[in-house]
Amino acid sequence: MKTPAHQNTPITEVANSDMFMVMDKSGRLAPFRTCTFIIEENGKKVVYKCPTSEKAKAFVKGLIEKEKTNASYLVGYFDVHSGTLEGDCIKYDYLPYPSLTDKMKIHMQEGNFIAANELLERYVQKIESLETINTVPEKFLMLIANRDNYSYKSKCLRRGLFDLTPKNILIDSERWVVIDNEWSFDFAIPVVFILFRAIRELSITLQSEIRQITSQDISACGVLALGLRTYYVPLVWIKYILTANISLWRLVEWEAGFWQYTVGAKKGYVGRIKKWPSLRKHFSARSIACDSQILSKMNRFIKSVPGVAKLVHILDQ
């Protein structure tokens, strides 16, 4: 097997080469540190995922088996984009397709919320059609919550596919291709947690678009908060994350637990559920523009003044 010359090159040199870095995960705990970049080989774009620490080599190599197992589990609903091991890295063909998030964003920018919502409905249907089991997800709870005081049975996917979310699904006509299989485990995970991760991800990424399409017919609820900003979620999406036994607060705790598992207990935060969510039926164009400007100024202020970032972090916790 031919090993690309860059695989034995320090990551600092790789970053300064003609390669295009698309994802840097050096902020994770050492066993999970990776980077992903695009390079042109023989006139063709390819993608490499590489470890950026000695401890992460086993993590990256383990993705090959995860991709095979996931492909079998997801067959009939999702395709899995698999790679080949080259040295310490995994090489993938470059796929020039938009993600599910991208497709939804375009529809919403065009004012077509119905089309965007139909895509989300198809996503939810596919997730709920996968093989499930009704159980107490004990291994899942011990991994991300470090406790087992949750004793209710819930509908769970048989495989713990944490990142089976819209940003990691590429749309090629009728093919839905999963491109990230890092966080895959051989234990059950609540379906509602996957849907919560998807809705939270979409609400943060598409917040401007959500505010633009909010109307008398499309209400949005300010249920999520991160730092000093409220994130509104279309009311028709909230039904996917409401269950009898698992509260929104618990879902946020699980998300925080997952972040702690990957990046460490003292790094990053995931926000909170607002105690008094507000319902909106309209955002003026001016308020949307002003909100974006104010958010940028607040972010700069938080980063520039000592102690403010820590205070905001405590607020979220």
**Residue ranges of the chain whose pLDDT lies below 50:** 1-17, 302, 308, 311-317
DSSP state of 111: T
* Backbone phi, psi, residue 10, to 5°: -55, 145
List of residues 6+ apart from 307 with CB closer than 8 A? none
Distance of alpha carbon 160 from alpha carbon 165, whole angstroms: 12
List of residues 6+ apart from 262 with CB closer than 8 A? 28, 29, 32, 183
For the domain 5-93, what is the CATH code? 3.30.200
| Virtual torsion, Cα 59, 61, 67, 72, nearest 10 deg | -100
CB of 129 closer than 8 Å to CB of 75: no
Distance of alpha carbon 34 from alpha carbon 180, whole angstroms: 12
Give this prediction's pTM: 0.85
**Residue 3: predicted pLDDT:** 39
**Residue 314: predicted pLDDT:** 46
In the chain, what are the domain boundaries? 5-93, 100-316
Q: Which residues pair with 23 in a beta bridge?
A: 36
